Structure 1
C-alpha cells in the first residue's frame, strides 16, 4: 500500500489488550478479516486474522518487543496489498513488499528500525510511456494501453486495471510520467495511471486455465530428460539439509526459459539469502547477455525476520508473478522454502490456540498449500493474451523424512516431484535427485512438443533409460548380497550401462561453463550415445565376447566427456562410430 493511501485511510480505532509474540489482541477495533492495521505507538504493520466479539486478533509483520497493552491500533480498512507497476524488476523486497535498498537508504544503515515503511515501487520516478491504443479506441479490463521499457530485457505493458469497467479512450498521452500521474482517461470519467494495487490473498482474474503443452526447459538433463515440468506447471523439490535444494532453484532461476523470475526466499538462513542477494545482481542472463536481475524480482524473508511476514511473502511473490502473467509473459516462481512458510503458519496457529493437526501444523495446512499452487497455471488472460506461472517450491522435511505433513500435502497437489537424496549428495553426485523416487505427471502431455521440436523418438529413448535404471535398482539388491561377479554377464552389462547413465547423463557440473546448461538436443544425443553402447555391447555379448573385454574398450569412457563438449553433435557422431567399430572388432 502506498504511503499516500495509508495516510488517507488510517483512523485510530482500537486499544491493545494483550501481546503474545507476533500475535496482538486489540479491543474495540472496527475491522474486517485481513484488514491491514498499524499497531502501537511505533505504527507496526499487521493484519487482522481473527475477530471474536469485541476482540480482534492481529498478526504483526515486525518484532513486537516493547509493545504493551493500552497502546493504540489504527485500521486502514483495506487488505494487505502490493504495489504493481514499472519498477518491480531488479528490486529486492522483504515479505510485505518493502524495498530493502530504499529502506537502507532511508535509515542510512543496513539495520532497519521498526515501523519504517516505503511504497513497493518508486512513486517519483518518471517512466517513458508509449501508447499502443489511440483516442476513440474501446478498451476493457486487462487490455494493454501502452508500454514502458522497464529494464534492458523486459518491456512493461501498462494494463487497464482488472477492476475497471472499461470504455472509450478519450485522452492518452505519450511521454514521461510517474506511476501516479494519469496517462489515459476513459469516457466513463475513469483516470488510469501506471500504478495498481492488488490484495495478495486474492488471485488476479483470468479468462481460462488451460492444459499446459510446452515444457519449461531448465538445461538440467535429469529434469528435462526424465522429469520435465510444463510452463504453468507445479513442482516440489524436497530434500534434507545440504542436498542441493537452493542450488537447484538457482540453476532454474538462471537457465529456465521463462521471461520473468520471481524468487522468494522464505525463512531460509540469512547467509544463504545474502549469497543470493549478492550473486544475482552480478549474474549474466545466458539468453540475452544482460544482467539476470533485469528480469528478476527478489523477495527476501530470512529466518531471523519476523515470522508473520514469512507467512505473507509467498502471497506477495505469486501476486507479482500473476501481474506479469497478465502481460502475456511466462513467469517462473521459486519458493525456498514452503516448509518455513508452513512453520510460520504453525507458530501463528498455536498462538491463536487453534486445534492442532498432524505434528502441530494447523488443520488448514493442505488448503493453504493448495491455494498457493492453484494460482500457478497456463492461462488465457482476460485481454486475450496467453501467459503462465510455473510454481517450484522447495520443501525442507526435518531429517529428510518425506512422510512428514508438508511434503505429503505438497505431493498431493504438485505434478512434478524432484526428490533430493542426501546419500547422492555425499557421493558428490549433483544434482542429487533420486531417479527412483522422483516423477513427473507432465511427461505424456509434453511428449508431442519434444517429438516436434527435438526428435521423433524422444519418448522411446527416455523410456529405455528409465527401464535400465529401474533394472539396476533391482540388481543392486542382489549385488549387495552375493556380489557383482555372481550375476550373469548380461546383467553385469546392464550395471555398466546404468553406471554411464548415472555418471555421464544424470550428473551435471554446475560450475563448468559448458556443462552447466544442456539444451534438449544435447540431452537427447547423450542418451542415444549410451544407447548405442548398450546395443552394440549386447551384440558382442551374444557373439561370445566376455563382458570384461566389452567394458574395456577405449571409446566407452569418452561417454563421460560429452557433457563438456561445445561441438557435441560432431563429438557424439564420432563417438558412436568408434564404439561400434571397436566392439565389432572383438567378434
Structure 2
C-alpha cells in the first residue's frame, strides 16, 4: 500500500442484494479493489465492479445471514498484505489471515468476521543496521538485517514508493515491526513493516534472461526438461497422477532460498499433509527445518470461493518481497485450475459474457498476468533475485485441450505433463517424456556444461532420441510382438527399458533416491549410454541379442538410484559391462 497520503472518498453504504459471495451495495464511495467490511458481522470483501451508484463486492467469507439493508464499511484501501519479519514458518489463508494465530484465539472452527495482521506487530526483532547517519538512501535500499529464521536473514528495505534521502537517525537493538528504525531528512521513517497491494507488481529495474537452472533433484526434470531460476512451468495431469506430490517434492528439494506454497482450492487432506509434514522435514541444503524458509497459504476447496481468487496474488506478492532482498524464490500454485474455477463462478454471478466452457473471457489475461510476475530480475536496490512459478493444472478427465491447460501452455516455457497410465503402473514421477518439453534447454546448457559435464547436451539428446525411438517401436510391438523386430531394434527397447526403470523412475520413499544431484543424474545417463554403446558394438561383432541382454552387469543399473556412494558403483558397472560383453567377441 502506498505510504503517501491522499484524499479519498470513503462513504459507507448499504447492501442492496446478495448472490452467494457477490454482494451489491449502494451509496458506497469506493474505488476498484478497495477493501470493504460487509454486514453487521463485518465480513471482508473487495470491490470488483462499479456501475453508477451500485458497487459490486466479492466477499471472502460465507455470506449466509447477510441481507439487504445491512451496512457496508469502506476502508478506502486496496487489498494488501503485511510484509516484514515473521512470514516464514507462517500458515495463511487466501487473504493473509494467520490461521495458527486465529486457531489459538478461537479453536479449530473460525468465526466469521475475524481478522488478524499478517505478521505479529508486537513481537520484537533484533535489528542490525547496515547504514549510518549521513548515508544517502533511495527506494528499495537495504538499511539493516534481522535473523528471521535459522536459514534466512531478513533484509529490511526502504519501501519502493518512498522518495528516499539522507539518513538523519538510525537505531540498533530489539524493535517491533512498527517502530521507526531509520529516519530520513525527507521526513520519512523506515520500519520493518511494509504493506503492498496484492494486485500491483512491485517495481524492478530490468527483467533478464535466466541462465541458471532451478535444480529440483528429480532426474526427469533436471535431466530432460529443466526449469530456469526465474522460469515458469506447468504440471497438468488428471486426478491421482501426482500433481500435488510433484509440487511437494519441488518445495522440499528445489535449490531455492525461499518457498511459497499456495494450496489453491485443493482438497483439505492434501493441504493437511503439507502442514503436518513440512515442520518435521529437514532442508537438504542447510540441514535446518524446511519451514524455516517456507510460507504456506492454505485456501482449500471447503473455504470461501472468493478468497481462492485472491490467494495466488497474496502468494506472488510475498514472493516479490523476498525477491527484492536478492533471494531466489520458488512459488508453487496448486492448482491454477481451481483458481480459474473461482474466477468462473464470480464471473457468472456478475452475469458477464462467458467464454469457452463458461470461463470468463479474461481468463488468458489473468493467467498471463500471474505468470508474468515470475522472472529473473534486477531489483531497484541493485541486487538480483528470481521468482520461479510452478502451477499445477487439473484438467477435467485429463483433457489437455480444455481452456485452462491450453491458455497456460501458451504462457509457460516448461511443461511437465503427468500421465495417469504411468501412475497406474506405479511409475513415479509420472511425467510423460513424450508429451513434456522445456524451452529453457539452450540457455541452461552452458551452466550444465560448466558445472556438471562438457557433453551434458549431447548425452541428454541421446536419451531423448532413444526414448523417441522406443515410442515408435512400441506401436509396432503392439501389432506384431517384440520377437518380430530386428535385433538392433530389440536392443534399443532393452536400452530404453533401463532408461525408464533406472533413470526416469525415482522412489520418493527412499532417502537416497528421493533427491538426485545433477552430477548423479549425468552419471546415470552416462552409465546407460555406456551399456548401449558396448551392446551395439557386440551386436555388430555377431553376438546374439539374447546373450547381450542376459549379462548380469546390466540389471545393476537399476540399483544406481538407491546407492549412496554411486560414483564407484557406476564405475564398477561400466567396467563389468565392458568386460562381459567384449569377452563374447
Q: Give TM-score, length-normalised by structure 1.
A: 0.98
Determine if the alignment matches structure 1 residue 546 to structure 2 residue 544: yes
Unaligned 5+ residue runs, structure 1?
Answer: none
Show CA shifts across 1:525-547 (max 9, x none): 00111001000000110111110
Q: CA deviation at 1:586?
A: 1.1
1:287 Cα offset (Å)? 1.3
C-alpha distance in 1, partners of 2:280/2:538? 52
- Aligned partner of residue 12 in structure 2, secondary structure: strand
1:118-164 Cα distance to aligned partner (Å, 9 max, x none) = 00000000000000011100010000000000001100000000000
1:66 and 2:65 matched: yes
Match of 1:161 in 2: 159
Q: Distance in 2 between matches of 1:467 and 1:272?
A: 37
* Cα displacement (A) at 1:98: 0.3
Partner of 2:226: 228
Aligned to 1:497: 495
**1:22·1:60 contact (CA, 8 Å) conserved in 2?**
yes
| 1:487 match | 485
**How many Å separate the matches in 2 of 1:445 and 1:238?**
24
Q: Is 1:342 matched up with 2:354?
A: no
CA–CA distance in structure 1, aligned partners of residues 286 and 460 of structure 2: 30
Name the CA distance, whole Å, in 2 between partners of 1:119 and 1:261: 21
- Aligned residue for 2:87? 88
How far residue 12 of structure 1 moved from its aligned partner, in angstroms, is 5.8
Summarize the alignment of residues 128-167 of structure 1 with structure 2, pairs less than 5 Å apart: 128-167=126-165
Check conservation: 1:262, 1:321, Cα contact below 8 A.
Answer: yes
Kindly state the Cα deviation for residue 16 of structure 1 after the two structures are TM-superposed.
0.2
Would you say the 8 A contact 1:10–1:74 is kept in 2? no
- Is 1:567 the counterpart of 2:565? The answer is yes
265, 280, 283: which one aligns with 1:282? 280
Q: Deviations over 1:365-423 (max 9, x none)?
A: 00000000000000000000000000000000000000000000000000000000000
How far residue 202 of structure 1 moved from its aligned partner, in angstroms, is: 0.5
- Correspondence for 2:96: 97
Specify the alignment match of 1:530 in structure 2.
528
Residue aligned with 1:564, SS: coil
1:44-68 alpha-carbon deviations (Å, 9 max, x no partner): 0000000011100000000000000
State the Cα distance separating 1:106 from its structure 2 match.
1.6
The CA distance in 1 between the partners of 2:195 and 2:485, in whole Å, is: 66
> Structure 1 pair 40/11, CA: closer, same or farther in 2 (3 Å)?
farther
The aligned counterpart of 2:431 is 433
What are structure 2's unaligned runs of at least 5 residues? none
* Whole-angstrom CA distance in 2 between matches of 1:11 and 1:228: 50
Q: Kindly indicate whether the alpha-carbon contact (under 8 Å) linking 1:141 and 1:160 is maintained by their aligned counterparts in 2.
A: yes
The number of equivalent residue pairs is: 582
Q: TM-score, normalising length from structure 2?
A: 0.98
CA distance in 2, matches of 1:10, 1:506: 60
Partner SS state of residue 560, structure 1: helix
Aligned to 1:415: 413
Q: Distance in 1 between matches of 2:485 and 2:290?
A: 51
Q: Deviations over 1:169-196 (max 9, x none)?
A: 0000100000000001001111111100
Deviations 1:42-91 (A, max 9, x none): 00000000001110000000000000000000101111000000001000
Q: Distance in 1 between matches of 2:227 and 2:300?
A: 28
1:32 aligns with 2:35: no
1:41 equivalent to 2:78? Answer: no
Provide the secondary structure at the position in 1 that maps to 2:131. Answer: coil
Verify the 8 A CA contact 2:9 2:29 in the aligned structure 1: no
Q: CA deviation at 1:502?
A: 0.2
Residue 237 of structure 1 corresponds to 235
| Partner-residue secondary structure (3-state), 2:560 | helix
1: CA distance, partners of 2:196 / 2:186: 22
What is the match of residue 19 of structure 1?
18
Shift of 1:10: 11
Q: How does 1:10-409 map to 2 (within 5 A)?
A: 13-107=12-106, 109-409=107-407
Separation in 2, partners of 1:153, 1:12: 46
Quote the residue 1:578 is aligned against. Answer: 576
Once residues 265 and 507 of structure 1 are traced to their aligned partners in structure 2, the CA distance between those partners, rounded to angstroms, is 26
